[in-house]
Structure 1
């Protein structure tokens, strides 16, 4: 006889812990503490400890990093680490013991050992691990989907309130002014984020949050969050972000509309392939460049093609293992080069290459890059297909999958993989862990148990 999916606290594959009593009998106080903790953690990731800190796309980051962020997130890491040890179900944590996550952990350890600048790399990787642990806790700690949704909604509302308050009260910081490197961005919104290229993707994810809230019964607040966030996306002036967001929503909407998850995944693969041709192809093919220029008015994607050409030319020099985690841009392999007077940008002082996949290859090589590609972009699609087989998980899985699809497309224009506690990377990490859990646990089963228990008690 086939085994039915089990409850929120029990693995759907049949090797979860023995029942739901631990979760279903959690005291209201514990549940409230977890909701507040998750709300605080997600708000910290989205708003950061230094909101409204303007930054050019071309800037040097001190090797010592931001000490306030380092201390603050280290403290947050300790709090969430303790919460995972004391309040999380160990079976859920043990569900993470998969070959792909083990390889990713091994890759992180390997990069620490091989780093030419050990302390800087270790600091960066520790922040990255803390960010991943916090997003993992946001998925694992809530006792019910309703608790998770409450924390998510509160954090989304808080971010939108801070962002619009900044536009009204701190326009000099929340809106791009004149920048010698980027004069074309004057007047575009960035809110509490350092740059519009961060604001656009994060606000797109908040739009996806709002859609999930609306679908899950939070009609008014979900609609307000989704509309406010989407307006903010438009005000960032990013044509690609504004285009990729509706496309991502449409792609995952196909799964709900047709009931066939494989159709959504197939369309995603086709859309990503087409987008890759139109973005990276513009850097290497004159015909594609001309086509993009006729469509968008700029075939260089605001000078990115210069970075992509240079980035691709450097990959063969360290093909298998790359230059090391975070050891390519703003490091000797690039800084020691002569100034490229012919290029649209002086790539020696670019923070990153604005292309996730090329940056992954240059930093980690083919070996490390293959692991990251699987964990971040391919594996989640398999988990999505599994998660949609559990009826109670479909809305939540759709939300996480939409984030994955959107950020996979955005990876063609931005770099955020394993980037400390960068909010874009944190949202991708949240979706990866979310699909892992929704593929293995029935998140709505606990509600069925409670209703059944009340009916039995009344009888």
Structure 2
């Protein structure tokens, strides 16, 4: 009887932990909370609502995450020992309080960056890559269902009134578009990989694309097309060198031709996408951002110490740009503003190291699921060209990057150890 009670309690705790993980991922995705608390206000008009409840929810997530890591402290310490390439950027962000233009904001943002990164660590240590993927499918499934409900039943929340586009459970149509890019790739890989319930995954893929189109996010649509192409292109990396190298050369040649064609016909392309040549004011914004970067080029203004509206250094950009940009709309420029070229260089070194490991992983694997780390990092690099999607605290993109980096590193080392064991076994047999 006691054994039966123990087993039931264990199942209940596992189910509760799964529920916590899905709920936390939903919060980190930016879904539901802000759009509800702001009463469906437009993104530029959301400065008036009380965000204390959001801070409380994040604090609870931090506390539960820390507790779960402590309960598995041996595995936590083991994984932490594999993350040395992450620590310099965290240290720089925290130390930047010394030269920050707004020390209190830097302190708060550094705290949230470290805590949200700990959730990425927990996600990698607790769940296998396959389990992570299925949890993400649940998260995006919930987001899609709620987005449809909000847009149809609660249009004051689900429709962005100034442009008449769907925003679902997010504060801006681009938020829905960005999440549907990742959702499309998740369901594409699951549909491509799974034999059972493949119809359900392809349905999720189709619904993700439909919501992306209803959001009218042109940059997200372009990113999705590139990522779908990349998903199939990365599989070429597994072919034999005699076939792979000529194929990659042909693809590179075609890409160059397309690049020159698109460059010459940029106006036509922008018109077809419903955009102008300034990318909705972004190209007018970026020179102003560069002016401010060159004032503090090496270490920046401190993590989160620049973009503070009229109260910060960003007031110069608001005055000269002619519109109230919520951020630089470029992740690389945002990182330079925060931590300078030193911070950007440290981040890119770690990113490139993980990217190369993910490439090696794809080369030695056979499943579509193993391409996911490479695809997500490619997405971050693409999305950061038009949005501030790099070193962003409490962000799903950052959390998944942390989790996938640890997953790739652990799998890479496990394969090296297994390969050495096989060689030793062969040697002893001889």
Q: How many matched pairs?
A: 386
Task: Provide the rounded CA distance (Å) in 2 between the counterparts of 1:91 and 1:387.
Answer: 24
**Aligned 1:210-289 pairs, distance under 5 A:** 210-217=187-194, 218-260=197-239
The CA deviation string for residues 35-54 of structure 1, in whole angstroms up to 9 with x for no partner, is 33322322232335334444
Aligned to 1:45: 28
Aligned to 2:387: 414
Task: Provide the rounded CA distance (Å) in 2 between the counterparts of 1:60 and 1:173.
Answer: 13
Contact 1:200 1:241 in 2 (8 A): yes
Deviation at 1:171, TM superposition (A): 1.4
Shift of the 175–74 alpha-carbon distance from structure 1 to 2, 3 Å rule, reads same
Task: Provide the rounded CA distance (Å) in 1 between the counterparts of 2:347 and 2:121.
Answer: 17
**Aligned 1:90-129 pairs, distance under 5 A:** 90=76, 92-98=78-84, 100-129=85-114
Shift of the 303–323 alpha-carbon distance from structure 1 to 2, 3 Å rule, reads same
TM-align CA RMSD: 3.3
Shift of the 339–112 alpha-carbon distance from structure 1 to 2, 3 Å rule, reads closer
Q: What are structure 2's unaligned runs of at least 5 residues? A: 1-9, 419-430
Moved more, 109-118 or 151-160: 109-118
Task: Provide the rounded CA distance (Å) in 2 between the counterparts of 1:292 and 1:59.
Answer: 33
Aligned to 2:422: none
Deviation at 1:338, TM superposition (A): 8.5
Deviation at 1:337, TM superposition (A): 6.9
- Aligned partner of residue 119 in structure 2, secondary structure: helix
Shift of the 428–56 alpha-carbon distance from structure 1 to 2, 3 Å rule, reads farther
- Equivalent of 2:319, from 330, 339, 343? 339
Q: Which runs of 4+ in 1 moved over 6 A?
A: 261-264
Shift of the 94–134 alpha-carbon distance from structure 1 to 2, 3 Å rule, reads closer
- Aligned partner of residue 368 in structure 2, secondary structure: helix
Structure 1-normalised TM-score? 0.74
Shift of the 425–193 alpha-carbon distance from structure 1 to 2, 3 Å rule, reads farther
Task: Provide the rounded CA distance (Å) in 2 between the counterparts of 1:405 and 1:169.
Answer: 36
Q: Give the number of the structure whose residues are more often helix, by fraction.
A: 2
Deviation at 1:116, TM superposition (A): 3.6
Structure 2-normalised TM-score? 0.79
Deviation at 1:128, TM superposition (A): 2.1
Q: What are structure 1's unaligned runs of at least 5 residues? A: 1-26, 179-185, 279-286, 446-459
- Aligned partner of residue 34 in structure 2, secondary structure: coil
**Aligned 1:315-354 pairs, distance under 5 A:** 315-329=293-307, 330=309, 331-335=311-315, 339-340=319-320, 343=321, 345-346=322-323, 349-354=324-329
- Aligned partner of residue 339 in structure 1, secondary structure: helix
Contact 1:384 1:401 in 2 (8 A): yes
